[in-house]
Every structure is written in C-alpha cells, then in structure tokens.
C-alpha cells in the first residue's frame, strides 16, 4: 500500500471576527496517497479553499493535526515550515502572475534567494517552460498571453521548487472548455511524468471526471461523500453528489426536459419512467433489450449517453417501461453486481432537483 503524503486529522477551521462565527471546515479527516490526483468538489462557500490552505498551513486549523510527507507541520520551526512549504506548489483561478516580469522572470522568481546559480536557475526555468509548451514565450510579458498560456506559466512557476504536491484551486474555472481540457491534460502529464500528487478543487464534476482518481464532496465545511471517482460517479449516495453527477452527465437536464412533455401523473398503471446507469461491461451487453424480450416489456428510450470515467465506460439511459413492472424491477435489481443501476423517476425525484 502506498503511504499517505497528506494526512489531515480532525481538522476544523473557525473564523470569528467578534461579530460572526463561521465554521468554514468541520470534522475533516482526509488522507491522500502519494501519486494520486484527488479532487475536492463543492459549491461556493463549502470550505474547499480553506481546507486546501490548511495543507501548507497558509491557513492554520483551529483544531486538528496536519501531517504532510510524514512531517507534523504544526510542530516545525518557522524555517523548517518555510522549507516544507516549498514541497507544496499552488495554482489559482486568476494565475497571480507578476505583470512587470517576463514569462521566464515569473518562473524563476521562486528560486531567487535560493542557493542556486543564475545559470542553473535559468536552465531549470527553461526546462519547465519546455514541459508546459512555452519555450518560445520566455521573453514575453504576461499581458500578451491567453488565459491558457498564463495558467501554463503559473504551472511552470509552481513546479520550479520541485514540489511533491501541487494544489490546483479552481485553476480552470476562468478558461473555455477547450483550454480547460488542455490544462487538465497538462496536469495529468505532470502527475504521471513527474510523480507529483495533485489536489484539485473545483465546482465542476466534469473536471473531476476528466483526471481525478479520487474525489471528496464538500458541503458546509464537511466531507459528505468520498471514494474512487468511478465508484462515486456510478453510485452516488449523498443528494449533493447525485446533483453534481446528474448535472455533468446531462441526466438532470434530460429528466427535466422529459417530464415537461410527459406528465408523470398521466403514465398508465403499467408504466414507469426509469433512469438506468450501466457500468463497465454492462454498457456493451444490450441488457435492457434482452430483458424486454424475456419479460415481454416494452422499452421506449428517451435519452442515452455514454462517458469514460477513470478509463471505465459509464452509460446513462432514460426510458419508459411498459408491462410487468414488478418482474422488470426485480430482474434489474438483481443485476446490480453486473453494473446495472436503476432509479424510478417519480414526482418526488423531479421536485428534489436543484436548478
């Protein structure tokens, strides 16, 4: 078993300005293994940024223990803490580049004041600019760059101190979908080729789905669900997780669209609207058509979608089933082990959908 490079124990962060008390993070225990890409998802104000700032003690916790790379950070001297922080790089939504310095100047900056020769500094920064695909931009100033290029500079700068951990705080939130995909691909390369553990904060399940291996879902300062991305994605338990997953697969929009034209209350007694999820091999087996033949039920497909999550196929389908519903539901419930999950869409499910 690989060891946890980040071990947060019983973390709470409370802000109290004398007028208002905010419990930004509560009861968080989180272990992240070396080499993982770990996503933390939640809506605005959930406590994500506060929690990741605890990892390098930029935000000291009110209670709890922070162990990074085997070091209990709260016990370190200021000098040792400064040293430990060099092993944790950060990138942000708004890049935080210095406009007065060139691209190369920005990447070199964290090395100033370190015992490393000018040539070596420059060579290292140029190596990283090559890694992020900006060799030709070394002498350009940031205001001449696109958002995606600025984030590439920020990634090179974050890597220049040889971190073992890279924290990405909404790093793709200001970028268009194509640039987002390119930056996520770069982060994946950084993880794979340099072995850097990545902790990635986002409010988009799409981002988690693209590159993360594990995910924690946060609400009101707490982790409400966590696990391998494929598992959380295919069988979400907390209502908030269901909401994130259904938004990213377009299932929620599809259910809303379908139930606008087909009134659930007008379905016949032998009809049900059912959302199916197929995981892994079950995406290829034509299970529903087989069942429809065996049980003599009619399947009217209204929506279908297939996705790749952490290398695994995941399919979604919404259909009206007509016929012996008891036999059909018993048959599909028994297929959970084969990766088939179903949910009956009733008025309550539709009402519970957050816009």
Supply the minimum distance, in Å, between the C-beta of residue 40 and ligand ATP.
8
Q: Which of 39, 42, 89, 148 touches ligand ATP (CB under 6 A)?
A: 42
49/292 with CB nearer ligand ATP: 49
Q: Which is nearer to ligand ATP, 52 or 160 (CB)?
A: 52
The residue range among 42-50, 82-90, 120-128, 324-332 that interacts with ligand ATP, by the rule CB under 6 A, is 42-50
- Site membership for ligand ATP, residue 44 (CB under 6 A): yes
Count of residues near ligand ATP by CB under 6 A: 11
Q: Which stretch binds ligand ATP (CB under 6 A): 39-47, 96-104, 263-271, 327-335?
A: 39-47
Query: Could you tell me the CA-to-CA distances from 178 to 11, 55, 216 in Å, in that order?
Result: 36, 30, 25
Strand pairing partners for 67? 7, 72
Q: Which is nearer to ligand ATP, 134 or 218 (CB)?
A: 218
Q: Among 35, 45, 133, 323, indicate the residue that binds ligand ATP (CB under 6 A).
A: 45
HEC states along 241-286?
HHHHHHHHCCHHHHHHHHHHHCCHHHCCCCEEEEEEEEEHHHHHCC
d(CA 103, CA 156): 10
Subset of residues 260 to 289 that bind ligand ATP, contact rule: CB under 6 A? none
Q: Distance between CA atoms of 131 and 193, rounded to whole angstroms?
A: 10
CB of 212 vs ligand ATP, minimal distance in Å: 17
**C-alpha distances in angstroms, 202 versus 43, 133, 162, 168, 211?**
8, 24, 24, 9, 12
22 binds ligand ATP (CB under 6 A): yes
CA–CA separation, 31 and 317 (whole Å) = 35
Q: Which lies closer to ligand ATP via its Cβ, residue 48 or residue 214? A: 48
Measured between alpha carbons, how far is 139 from 135 in angstroms, rounded to an integer? 9
Q: Which one, 22 or 238, has the nearer CB to ligand ATP?
A: 22
Site string for ligand ATP, 49-78 (x = CB under 6 A): xx----------------------------
Is there binding between residue 47 and ligand ATP (CB under 6 A)?
A: yes
Quote the least distance from Cβ 24 to ligand ATP, whole Å: 3
Show contacts with ligand ATP in window 119-178 (CB under 6 A): none
Residue entry with tokens 């209204």:
302
**CA atoms lying within 13 Å on the CB side of residue 236:** 21
Instruction: Quote the least distance from Cβ 201 to ligand ATP, whole Å.
Output: 7
Among 6, 8, 41, 46, the residue binding ligand ATP under the rule CB under 6 A is: 46
Query: Quick one: 28 or 229, whose CB is closer to ligand ATP?
Result: 28
Structural element, H or E, at residue 172: none
CB of 132 to ligand ATP, least distance (A): 25
Q: How far apart are CA 218 and CA 200, in angstroms?
A: 13
As a whole number of angstroms, the longest Cα–Cα distance in the chain is 79
Q: Which is nearer to ligand ATP, 220 or 324 (CB)?
A: 220
Q: How far apart are CA 152 and CA 166, in angstroms?
A: 13
Helix (H) or strand (E) holding 147: helix 147-159
Residue 174: how many other CB atoms lie within 10 Å: 16
> Which among 48-56, 108-116, 181-189, 242-250 is the span making contact with ligand ATP, rule CB under 6 A?
48-56
The neighbour count for residue 242, using CB atoms within 10 Å, is 20
Between 138 and 240, whose beta carbon lies closer to ligand ATP? 240
Bridge partners of 308? 313
Measured in degrees and rounded to the nearest 5, phi and psi for residue 125 equal -65, -40
Interacting residue with ligand ATP among 15, 60, 130, 270 (CB under 6 A): 15
Please answer whether residues 48 and 22 qualify as being in contact, where contact means their C-beta atoms are separated by less than 8 angstroms. Answer: no
Question: Per CB under 6 A, does 114 bind ligand ATP?
Answer: no
Binding site for ligand ATP (CB under 6 A): 15, 22, 24, 42, 44-50
């Amino acid at each position: 078993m690989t060891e946890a490079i980040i071990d947060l124990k019983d973390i709470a962060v409370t802000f109290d300005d004398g007028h208002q008390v905010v419990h930004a993070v509560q009861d968080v225990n989180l272990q992240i293994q070396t080499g993982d890409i770990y996503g933390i998802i939640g809506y605005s104000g959930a406590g994500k940024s506060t929690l990741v700032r605890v990892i390098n003690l930029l935000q000291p916790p009110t209670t709890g223990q922070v162990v990074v790379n085997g070091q209990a950070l709260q016990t370190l001297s200021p000098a040792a803490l400064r040293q430990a922080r060099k092993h944790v790089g950060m990138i942000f939504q708004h890049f935080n580049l210095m406009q007065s310095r060139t691209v190369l100047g920005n990447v070199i900056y964290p090395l100033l004041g370190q015992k490393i020769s000018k040539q070596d500094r420059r060579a290292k920064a140029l190596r990283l600019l090559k890694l992020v695909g900006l060799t030709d931009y070394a002498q350009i100033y940031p205001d001449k760059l696109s958002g995606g290029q600025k984030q590439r500079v920020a990634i090179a700068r974050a890597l220049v101190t040889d971190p073992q951990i890279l924290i990405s705080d909404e790093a793709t939130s200001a970028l268009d979908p194509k640039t987002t995909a390119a930056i996520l691909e770069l982060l994946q390369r950084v993880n794979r080729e340099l072995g850097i553990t990545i902790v990635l904060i986002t409010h988009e399940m799409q981002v988690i789905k693209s590159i993360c291996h594990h995910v924690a879902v946060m609400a009101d300062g707490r982790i409400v669900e966590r696990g391998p991305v494929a598992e959380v994605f295919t069988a979400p338990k907390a209502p908030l997780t269901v909401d994130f997953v259904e938004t990213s697969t377009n299932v929620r929009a599809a259910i809303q669209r379908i139930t606008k034209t087909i009134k659930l209350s007008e379905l016949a007694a032998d009809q049900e609207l059912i959302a199916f999820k197929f995981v892994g091999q079950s995406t290829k087996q034509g299970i529903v058509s087989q069942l429809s033949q065996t049980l003599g039920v009619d399947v009217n497909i209204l929506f279908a979608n297939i996705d790749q999550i952490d290398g695994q196929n995941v399919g979604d389908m919404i259909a009206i089933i007509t016929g012996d519903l008891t036999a059909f539901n018993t048959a599909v419930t028994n297929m959970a082990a084969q990766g088939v999950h179903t949910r009956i869409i009733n008025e309550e499910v539709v009402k519970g959908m957050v816009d």
